[in-house]
Chains A and B, each alone.
Chain A
Amino acid sequence: MQQFCEQLLNGLNLGSVYALIALGYTMVYGIAKMLNFAHGDIIMVGGYTIYVFMNMTGHPLIAVAVAVVFCVLLGITIEKVAYKPLRGASPLAVLITAIGVSYLLQSLAQIVFGSAPKMVKIADMGVLKIGSLKIQNYTLLTLACSIVVMIALTLFVKFTKIGRAMLATSEDKAATQLMGINVNNVITVTFAIGSALAALAGLFYLLKAPSISNTFGSMPGIKAFTAAVIGGIGSIPGAMLGGILLGIVECISYKIPAIAAYTDAIEFLILIVILLVKPTGILGKRRSEKV
């Protein structure tokens, strides 16, 4: 029971990181109607920025702040340079460009930092003991931060002008434009928010496993993307639900010796089953086809 509780907490921790990444995927998909395959690599860039500024200043808060700003700028640049020229082109072309950007970021990181993993020591957080239950403090920090970020994001989308513009764009791009909303700005803001969340996810990932290489972001990226699809791509609560679900499944399956080695396979199997049973994901809305 105690072990189960610990794994559940670990799962929540991992799941909230996945949820943060999945939010980036799902918002970009909802608004720009594209799969941003380079999103996972923005996590990696965030991680490396934290690594560089931890070594330079030794102050975690400065490093995280710089990482968030840098990732936001990077996200906007990628959107302007690689995706904006392709607005209105076939979805396949955009998808392939996104893969190209992901490949580009990975090889750039390898050229700059080498392929050997780097250790990043951010802060020693210690352990909280409740009875016999041990809780890592970073787990609590991750959970608290993720919950705050998710609430803030939900409020932002519901109650601010630009947030509502985002909702409108995801509903109907052409009509939104007719209402005098600059859709290009909305898309830029979406990429900025997604990249900031990715940088935070990079931080939480590093707290859990303090080693970074140029493929640091690809697996969490793919997993979070799976989470976004399971929850229903385009839906913000869906991304949170899918992320946490996947995190818990991963942590529990990892502790069962018989299936531990197949953890990744199980997660993708869940994805395939969900697509078979409910193609739009758990909370996804069904969109009727237009002629």
Chain B
Amino acid sequence: MSLKNKSLKYYYSTIIVAAFGLLSVILSMTIGLEKSTIYLLEKIVIAVILAVSLNLVVGFLGELSLGHAGFMCVGAYLGGKFAVIISSSLGNSALTLILSMLVGGTVAALCGILIGLPALRLKGDYLAIVTLGFGEIVKSIFQNTSRESFGGALGLETPRYNKDELFIYAFAVLIITLLVVQNLMNSKHGRAITSIRDNEIAARATGINVTKYKLMAFIISSFFAGVAGVLYSFSNYNIQSSKFGYNYSIEILVMVVLGGIGSINGSIIAATLITFINTEFATILTGNLAVLQNLLYAIILIVIVIYGNSPALSAFREKYDIKKLFDKFKKRDPSIIKEDKANWNNIPTKIPMDELLSVDVSNNDQNLDSDETDKGGK
């Protein structure tokens, strides 16, 4: 496989998304699409942007963020407010949309720095905790703003934007997101990020600035969450902070996990499917039946994670690996196509090795001392 083909392979998903976007643009211009279809398209595009950007943190960096909706909320409110201010002089032009997306994204990225700096310096699940707290803080702050500033509990009204144009811009933003994330992951920086996920200590030993790269992934992820928030505010005309709660963050996480942690194509497919099902089922399932859907998501989440990660099931997974079966079908030699496909959760002897080879300088000194005193005592 030549290098050129290989590099083209990374952009298949982007090309397919772009083709799909172009198709829907042409359709809307020639035969015209229904308002509900356009709204659904916007929702799907926003969900895909959110899922892909969250996958950057969860899949490639290997940290858990539970406040993705919080970043989206910051972007939606500040971008939306900015649009309200400048639309009086610029009107509802494309410039208004682009500028407010930039503002929303930048503010969300700044929040990412604020949250990431304390949390990402630490080892462990601190980012999950802090982002969870951040989501709640953002929600309660915007809920308690005055009617004039951000609308408070009633929500912020954003300028009405021409629906036919908005979804074209949404597709453009999605393609930019995909290009940025794909290119990042295929660059030196992206490899640095995945190396931190696979073994932080080894990455540090090879001279990678761990905090810098962690922060980089996190900031890019929150930037796109903010941009998606602005798109959301333009698509819905009215934003309410109660929408951006913990449950919404979990919904995005479910998309990432269902699609496959660390797989961008998977995120695109899962986000599309889940948004489609959610929207279509919302009209059929009402009341208590709607809860069944949540129950199903929870069960799928648990089953998929246990199936994909349980050490006891690894032999079973090897045997029934879809990719291998596929290769057998195509009569390809599986040993040739051995790509770095983010097998981070199956690094074989990672944990036993950690424990077996633990050489802890500071503790060992103490242990030696105490051993000696013990012997002396006897």
Contact = CB atoms under 8 A, between A and B. Distances in A.
A173 B358 CA distance: 13
Contacts of B360: 288, 290
B201 A289 contact: yes
B137 A265 contact: yes
Interface in A255-269: 261-262, 264-265, 268-269
Interface string B241-259: 0000010001001000100
Interface in A204-224: 218, 222
A118 to B, nearest CB: 15
Contacts of A125: none
SS of A interface (majority) = helix
B298 A272 contact: no
A276 B58 CA distance: 22
A86 B140 contact: no
Contacts of A265: 136-137, 140-141
B299 interface: yes
A91 interface: yes
Contacts of B125: 35, 91, 95
B201 A225 contact: no
Interface in A64-107: 82, 85-93, 95-97, 99-101, 103-104, 106-107
A60 interface: no
A110 B298 CA distance: 13
B344 interface: yes
Nearest to A270: B133
Contacts of B126: 229, 275, 279
A95 B124 CA distance: 11
A104 B293 CA distance: 11
Interface string B284-313: 000010011011011101100110111111
Contacts of A85: 306, 310, 312-313
A233 B263 CA distance: 32
B333 interface: no
Interface in B72-114: none
Interface centre among B63, B141, B291, by most chain A C-beta atoms within 10 angstroms, is: B291
B311 A101 contact: no
Interface string A160-184: 0000000000000110000000000
B279 interface: no
A289 B118 CA distance: 18
B118 to A, nearest CB: 4
B128 interface: yes
Contacts of B140: 261-262, 264-265
Contacts of A123: none
B64 interface: yes
A117 interface: no
Interface residues of B, number: 63
B250 A89 contact: no
A160 B58 CA distance: 41
Contacts of A93: 305, 308-309, 345
B322 interface: no
A104 B295 contact: yes
A92 B306 contact: no
B47 to A, nearest CB: 18
A80 to B, nearest CB: 12
A86 B309 contact: yes
Interface stretch (B165-173, B220-228, B349-357): B349-357
B305 A275 contact: no
A34 to B, nearest CB: 8
Contacts of B294: 103, 106-107, 110
18 contacts: A86-B305, A88-B311, A88-B351, A89-B311, A92-B58, A95-B125, A96-B301, A100-B299, A110-B291, A229-B129, A261-B140, A261-B143, A262-B140, A265-B140, A265-B141, A271-B129, A272-B115, A290-B360
Interface of B: 58, 62-64, 66, 115, 118-119, 121-126, 128-130, 132-134, 136-137, 140-141, 143-144, 201, 246, 250, 253, 257, 261, 288, 291-292, 294-295, 297-299, 301-302, 305-306, 308-313, 344-345, 351, 354-363
Given A89-B309, A265-B140, 5 more contacts: A89-B310, A100-B298, A100-B302, A107-B291, A222-B133
